[in-house]
Amino acid sequence: MNPTPRDYHDIPGTYVFDGAHQRKGYWLNMFCKSLDLAANRERFRAAPADYLAGFPMTDAQRDAVLLRDWLGLLRLGGNIYYTFKLAIFDGLSMQHVGAAMSGTGMTVDDFRQMMVSGGRPAEGMRSRRENREACHG
Amino acid sequence: MNPTPRDYHDIPGTYVFDGAHQRKGYWLNMFCKSLDLAANRERFRAAPADYLAGFPMTDAQRDAVLLRDWLGLLRLGGNIYYTFKLAIFDGLSMQHVGAAMSGTGMTVDDFRQMMVSGGRPAEGMRSRRENREACHG
Amino acid sequence: MAELIGGVGTSHVPAIGAAVDHGKTQDPYWKPVFDGMQAARDWVARTRPDVCIVVYNDHASCFSLELTPTFALGVASHYEPHDEGYGPRPVPRVEGAPELSWHLAESLILDEFDITIASQMTVDHGLTVPLSVLFGQPESWPCRVIPLCVNVIQYPPPTGQRCLKLGQAIRRAVESFPGDLRVAVIGTGGLSHQLQGERAGLINAEFDQRWLDEFVTEPDKAAAHDHVELLREAGSEGLECVMWLVMRGALQPEVEVVHRFYHVPASNTAYGLLVLEDAARASRPLAAQPA
Amino acid sequence: MAELIGGVGTSHVPAIGAAVDHGKTQDPYWKPVFDGMQAARDWVARTRPDVCIVVYNDHASCFSLELTPTFALGVASHYEPHDEGYGPRPVPRVEGAPELSWHLAESLILDEFDITIASQMTVDHGLTVPLSVLFGQPESWPCRVIPLCVNVIQYPPPTGQRCLKLGQAIRRAVESFPGDLRVAVIGTGGLSHQLQGERAGLINAEFDQRWLDEFVTEPDKAAAHDHVELLREAGSEGLECVMWLVMRGALQPEVEVVHRFYHVPASNTAYGLLVLEDAARASRPLAAQPA
Ligand SMILES: [Fe+3]
Ligand SMILES: [Fe+3]
């Protein structure tokens, strides 16, 4: 499915889990969901690639899992509530993953500090179009 | 739950699968549903009472299962699409069960004949109240 | 833009599926029923829908008491026939239409229908028998299918009015789909029958015929019968005729009856079959329709 | 007749549950948040609801991609806390209110809400954290609970308007229940936050405060923000604030604010808390309410 453009594609750094995204990431997310079971977590820990081979995912998705490419996982159809199960598996917090997804080399401490200081401001993060216009205007 | 009287309780010979009925028959129906799996069918065939003991049903429900009391099963909270799974288990048709539920000693051939002749007429089967009034009126 | 080419109403009696699967369609018992289907088969062969939205109910097959969605819309790429205790029906796998499904799901939810989105589901006789009615026994089904599963087992099912409105919303959604698809809506279930209790075997042909009349010319009236009246007149399982109203809502208020057939009995059920087109479409010269 | 005694809106941040479970509520980071909850705890201790209808979302815990109900209403006698990967939260089992649940399910479906009926489900932090917010760490929860699980993970969630209307229908249903119950509605989730992508950590206090103002005095306006605007302003996970609108719809148009609290951050989230009563009820002398 070639996703038709949607208004929300204009929002920067945001991966809306719509139908197109769900179809793309279905088995990636279902792999993550499978980690709910302790037995599956053990199998995945023992032989990550073998375990992943049991899910009809793309190679890019498998690589993103193995590399813990948190942003890549979203781009490949992941949903944060599912990919976060992989973070829990690794013993990571949501702030850890949040820092990693920021894509700016932020550390988890930077991220925590940003939150305590009022969070990431919406200014400049609302619209790709507006940002472009502001740049070139 | 003491079911509050409903308009449809006035319809004779009809067990509406509402919330009260569903709660009453939950595990009875879930027992029937379990027969979807061949392995469960074998276990039930080998040791019916033992198998039933695995479901938190009432004794009356268990007896109705063992006796194939098709009408009793409905009265005890059964839903026909679930209890019919028990009939399929026995190799019986819906018309077999229909005859048995009629509660008039009808045979399956009587039932088949009734259907070919246009089915059970609605006349006299619409309303307990109307029937009472017709009797006493 | 996708196009709504017409609607079919048909009972989904399992015995009809069994008659097809076991080669009994020409037995004296079944011949009148299958003869009565021919005009619907001709219509669907002539109009060739790309996608059929099949409005049906699951019979304790894929769904169970744990979770009962009022409306579950399939968005999968395919659906396997469910094993209902005799092994799965020997029919082709049902191929889905996920792009249109997701478009429907998104449109309907934003249009205030509280759809359950089903990404993986099996389909039972409620869906596959209507396909057999329309297409016989092909190697593969000649169209893609979107299952719309309606709860009619757990009281209360959605009201007739709600089903009619859902059909109207489906029409809007189909017509806003940016693809060149011919879409039919198949309403299934009914007509009068009761499988359970001392009234098992109930048939009410008079009610059915009156309801079919209303259904064609005064759909609001057909939708206005409340559940108690349907239970009383059409029988506890006949209530499932509300699913036809989704089909009716997807058509325009004025329709042309392409085919109407009614027969008692098909197993324990009054068999009804109706093929409708929008009046505006039906009056077009035949040449304007694909051969 | 059952009575709607008020509504609470609260974020359901998992870290709040963890702070309670691990005895960190007096840590400098958490103290302001828990201090801000006290007035809500006082309110609920004073008004003592028999049943709380908790409007929340499941976070890929009990539900998964196979099946996504827009609105799933629990009708079970109890609900176990779900294991979200750390073991289930050490909180009491949630006791249900099946009679009222079934009454709601039946009323809502006949009122044209396409509810999914859930007879067996587990509940995750979306439901248990709000209970911890209101009740702390009791041996058993002091009220029965009806879970109303809303899809806000799969796009599209129900619209704000639909949620508001559902609340209105819940009010009608509660008030037609023939039992002497005091019922509160708890809307949970939000306020602004985004867990995912390069915008992770987004907070928009200005939007939240304006939305809370509208929520109290102009609920139709609060409900009218479309999904794109909510995604943009409140963040991809902040969109879940639509669930508060179910609570708002269950109250009268005129409400009295018993308590309002807002704090940034609770973990990655702007924490919001609101306690409302119908204006008519709030103006009653205190003596008329149970001590
Ligand atoms: Fe059916
Ligand atoms: Fe949430």
Domain C3-266, architecture per CATH: 3-Layer(aba) Sandwich (3.40)
- Radius of gyration for the alpha carbons in chain A, expressed in angstroms and rounded: 17
- C84: which chain B residues are within 8 Å (Cβ-Cβ)? 88
Phi then psi for residue C265, to 5 deg, are -105, 160
Gap from CA of D237 to ligand 2 centroid (Å): 7
Rounded to the nearest angstrom, the minimum Cα separation between D279 and chain A is 33
- Which chain D residue is nearest to residue B26, measuring alpha carbons? D119
* C-alpha of D137 from chain center: 18
Band of residue B134 on the pLDDT scale cut at 50, 70, 90: confident
Q: Is there contact between A and D if contact means ≥3 C-beta pairs under 8 Å?
A: yes
Superfamily of domain B15-136: Dioxygenase LigAB, LigA subunit (1.10.700.10)
Residue C94 has pLDDT above 90, yes or no: yes
Coil, strand or helix at C9: strand
Residue A2 has pLDDT above 70, yes or no: no
Band of residue C287 on the pLDDT scale cut at 50, 70, 90: very low
- Is domain A13-120 in CATH 1.10.700.10, yes or no? yes
Q: What is the ipTM for the molecules in this complex?
A: 0.96
Gap from CA of D13 to ligand 2 centroid (Å): 7
Residue of B33, D122, B89, D72 whose CA lies nearest to C62: B33
- DSSP string for residues in D253-289: SSEEEEEEEEEEEETTEEEEEEEEEEHHHHTS-GGGS
- B4 with D178: Cβ contact below 8 A: yes
- DSSP string for residues in D205-245: HHHHHHHHHHHHH-HHHHHH--HHHHHHHH-TTGGGGHHHH
Coil, strand or helix at B100: helix
* Per-residue pLDDT, D285: 59
* Per-residue pLDDT, D282: 78
Residue window 22-51, chain A: list those with CB within 8 Å of chain D: 22, 26, 29-30, 32-33, 35-36
User: What is the pLDDT of chain B when averaged over all its residues?
Assistant: 95
Return d(Cα D60, Cα A29) in angstroms, integer.
Answer: 10
Mean pLDDT over C118-126 rounds to: 98
> Residues C188, C243: contact at Cβ < 8 Å?
yes
Residue of D10, D8, D9 whose CA lies nearest to D269: D10
> Residues A90, A72: contact at Cβ < 8 Å?
no
- D68: which chain C residues are within 8 Å (Cβ-Cβ)? 116-119
User: With an 8 Å Cβ cutoff, is B20 touching chain D?
Assistant: yes
User: With an 8 Å Cβ cutoff, is C78 touching chain A?
Assistant: no
Distances (CA, A) of D34 to D39, D41, D89, D270: 10, 10, 19, 14
> Residues D227, C109: contact at Cβ < 8 Å?
no
What pLDDT, in 10s, does the model give residues B15-60?
999 999 999 999 999 999 999 999 999 999 999 999 999 999 999 9
- Radius of gyration for the alpha carbons in chain D, expressed in angstroms and rounded: 17
Superfamily of domain D3-284: LigB-like (3.40.830.10)
What percent of chain C stands above pLDDT 90? 94
| Type of residue found at D3 | E
| Type of residue found at C22 | H
Q: Which ligand lies nearest to the CA atom of residue D241 in the structure?
A: 2
* Per-residue pLDDT, D179: 86
Band of residue A3 on the pLDDT scale cut at 50, 70, 90: low
User: With an 8 Å Cβ cutoff, is C148 touching chain A?
Assistant: no
Gap from CA of D240 to ligand 2 centroid (Å): 6
Mean pLDDT over B81-105 rounds to: 96
Give me the average pLDDT of each 10-residue run along chain D (291 residues): 96 97 97 98 98 98 98 98 93 98 98 98 98 98 98 98 98 96 97 98 98 98 98 98 98 98 97 97 61 40
Q: Which ligand lies nearest to the CA atom of residue C56 in the structure?
A: 1
Distances (CA, A) of A115 to C40, D209, D264, D270: 64, 18, 8, 9
* Per-residue pLDDT, B137: 58
What pLDDT, in 10s, does the model give residues C23-45?
999 999 999 999 999 999 999 99
Residue of D184, D285, D231, D263 whose CA lies nearest to D19: D263
Q: Which of D55, D63, D116 to mutate to test the interface with C (most CBs of C within 10 A)?
A: D116
User: With an 8 Å Cβ cutoff, is C203 touching chain B?
Assistant: yes
What pLDDT, in 10s, does the model give residues C179-223?
899 999 999 999 999 999 999 999 999 999 999 999 999 999 999
Catalytic positions of D:
125, 193
Domains in chain A: boundaries: 13-120
Q: Is there contact between A and B if contact means ≥3 C-beta pairs under 8 Å?
A: no
- C119 with A1: Cβ contact below 8 A: no
Q: Which ligand lies nearest to the CA atom of residue D128 in the structure?
A: 2
Rounded to the nearest angstrom, the minimum Cα separation between C91 and chain B is 20
What pLDDT, in 10s, does the model give residues C44-55?
999 999 999 999
Rounded to the nearest angstrom, the minimum Cα separation between D38 and chain A is 22
Residue of C100, D61, D188 whose CA lies nearest to A84: D61
- D98: which chain B residues are within 8 Å (Cβ-Cβ)? 1, 19, 23
Residues 6+ apart with CB under 8 A from D268: A94, A95, A98, A115, A119, D13, D193, D194, D195, D200, D201
Return d(Cα B62, Cα B32) in angstroms, integer.
Answer: 11
Three-state SS letters, D94-149: EECCHHHHHHHHHHHHHCCCCCEEECCCCECHHHHHHHHHHHCCCCCCCCEEEEEE
* Per-residue pLDDT, C161: 98
Q: Is there contact between B and C if contact means ≥3 C-beta pairs under 8 Å?
A: yes
Domains in chain C: boundaries: 3-266
What pLDDT, in 10s, does the model give residues C4-14?
999 999 999 99
What percent of chain B stands above pLDDT 70? 97
Residue C291 has pLDDT above 70, yes or no: no
